[in-house]
């Protein structure tokens, strides 16, 4: 929780950032309108905040409330009272988020500050050094690694965060998993293989065309119907590559009691060296928790690789979970609605670049990124979504 009190915030002067201009949807270029056509269907969508010049700032969609506040604060002064009413008890976090994103600026000692330069006004304590589990450690190491990369593209930096903890591609792995047929053989589900009977009994394959890069299956007898567009919960099973055959066999042995809707495993050597090499899908958080507990017992002692930016189920990172982002969550343009981990890494990458562009003596870029993501409703110690913002996932 930010340290600046409501009373202190009310006494501060703010202004709209001169680095952004607010553009109504109807006045965007035809190309931009086409890219944002989905957002136009939202009755609360107003337009886009566009950087006035080349910078690390990105395009940001603006709802009507954001647009009204941005236009109001063209004249510097205290926040208008309607902000407190409209945003309710979360108004402080909403304003701090806009300041850290460079949309609003806050006055301090005669200067207007935003981004990392304003971080110390809101967070008087640095991010904690202690981490509760292996996933949290991996996630922090990924951020520290990423902040040192000489990349200026948020998309490229997000991809490097997303790919963190991939195992090296060695000649041995290339030989073992030289083709999809070699993967089938190694995991024992080739025709007549030791795992094929269990696979066919509980799962039916998804066409290769709709599951590119993966071997994917749907449950033959799902316990619960699941409609397209509903939230899907993902259980990541992340054994070290050498332990994958045993972990795959254990998953199949548990198939009847897992309650999963579907699962997938990497189809080639690169897919099997990534940390999220095997994923199960569930219709609810409770169903995922029950399936994870059963699988945890089956996989006792299995060495873990670990998937950064997911919520740990086991302390060693073998099992962790995520979920589709909420439908109403603001997405950094031009990215469409993304998977859970991409949703996280897009935001972290933007924050890292913003902090690097405006260095602060009070906070490292990776710490700034963590504090910024907390305002989106993610507990960055456990990497689980906060129930207040993600109520629809409960």
Look over the chain and give the mean of its residue pLDDT values, rounded to a whole number: 86
What is the mean pLDDT of the segment spanning 194-205? 95
Fold exhibited by the domain 171-305: 3.30.2430
Predicted confidence (pLDDT) per residue in 205-249, tens digit: 998 766 788 999 999 988 766 555 567 899 999 999 999 999 999
Per-residue model confidence (pLDDT) at position 205:
94
Per-residue model confidence (pLDDT) at position 120:
87
Q: Structural domain boundaries of the chain? A: 1-125, 171-305
Closest to 368 in 3D by CA, of 384, 348, 338: 348
* Full-model pTM: 0.85
Provide the pLDDT confidence category of residue 28 given band limits of 50, 70 and 90: confident
Q: Is the pLDDT of residue 114 over 60?
A: yes
Per-residue model confidence (pLDDT) at position 236:
97
Q: Is the pLDDT of residue 55 over 80?
A: no
Q: Enumerate long-range contacts of 321-324, CB under 8 Å, 24 or more apart.
A: 321/233, 321/234, 321/235, 321/236, 321/288, 321/292, 322/233, 322/234, 322/236, 323/231, 323/232, 323/233, 323/234, 323/285, 323/385, 323/390, 323/393, 324/231, 324/232
């Amino acid at each position: 929780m930010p340290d600046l009190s409501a009373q202190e915030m009310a006494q501060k002067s703010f202004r709209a950032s001169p680095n952004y201009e607010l553009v109504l949807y109807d006045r965007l270029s035809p190309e931009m309108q086409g890219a944002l056509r989905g957002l136009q269907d939202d009755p609360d969508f107003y337009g886009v905040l566009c950087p006035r010049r080349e910078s690390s700032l990105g395009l940001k969609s603006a709802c009507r409330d954001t647009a009204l506040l941005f236009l109001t604060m063209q004249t510097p002064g205290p926040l208008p009272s309607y902000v407190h009413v409209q945003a309710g008890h979360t108004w402080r976090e909403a304003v701090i988020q806009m300041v850290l994103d460079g949309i609003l600026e806050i006055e301090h000692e005669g200067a207007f500050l935003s981004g990392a330069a304003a971080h110390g006004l809101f967070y008087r304590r640095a991010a904690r050094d202690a981490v509760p589990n292996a996933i949290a450690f991996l996630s922090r190491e990924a951020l520290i690694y990423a902040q040192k990369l000489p990349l200026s593209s948020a998309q490229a930096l997000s991809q490097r965060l997303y790919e963190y903890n991939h195992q090296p591609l060695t000649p041995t792995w290339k030989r073992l998993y030289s083709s999809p047929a070699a993967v089938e053989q190694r995991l024992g589900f080739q025709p007549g293989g030791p795992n094929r009977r269990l696979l066919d009994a509980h799962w039916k394959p998804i066409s290769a065309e709709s599951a590119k890069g993966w071997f994917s299956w749907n449950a033959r007898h799902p316990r619960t119907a699941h409609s397209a567009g509903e939230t899907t919960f993902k259980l990541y099973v992340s054994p070290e590559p050498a332990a994958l055959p045993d972990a795959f066999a254990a998953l199949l042995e548990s198939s009847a009691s897992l309650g999963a809707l579907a699962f997938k495993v990497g189809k080639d050597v690169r897919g099997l060296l990534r940390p999220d090499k095997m994923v199960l899908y569930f219709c609810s958080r409770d169903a995922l928790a029950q399936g994870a507990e059963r699988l945890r017992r089956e996989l006792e002692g299995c060495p873990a690789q670990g998937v950064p930016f997911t919520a740990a189920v086991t302390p060693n990172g073998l099992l962790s979970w995520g979920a589709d982002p909420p439908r109403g969550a603001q997405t950094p343009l031009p990215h469409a609605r993304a998977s859970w981990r991409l949703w996280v890494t897009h935001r972290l990458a933007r924050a890292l670049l913003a902090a690097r562009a405006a260095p602060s003596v009070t906070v490292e870029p990776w710490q700034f990124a963590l504090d910024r993501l907390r305002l989106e409703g993610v507990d960055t110690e456990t990497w689980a979504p906060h129930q207040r913002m993600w109520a629809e996932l409960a």
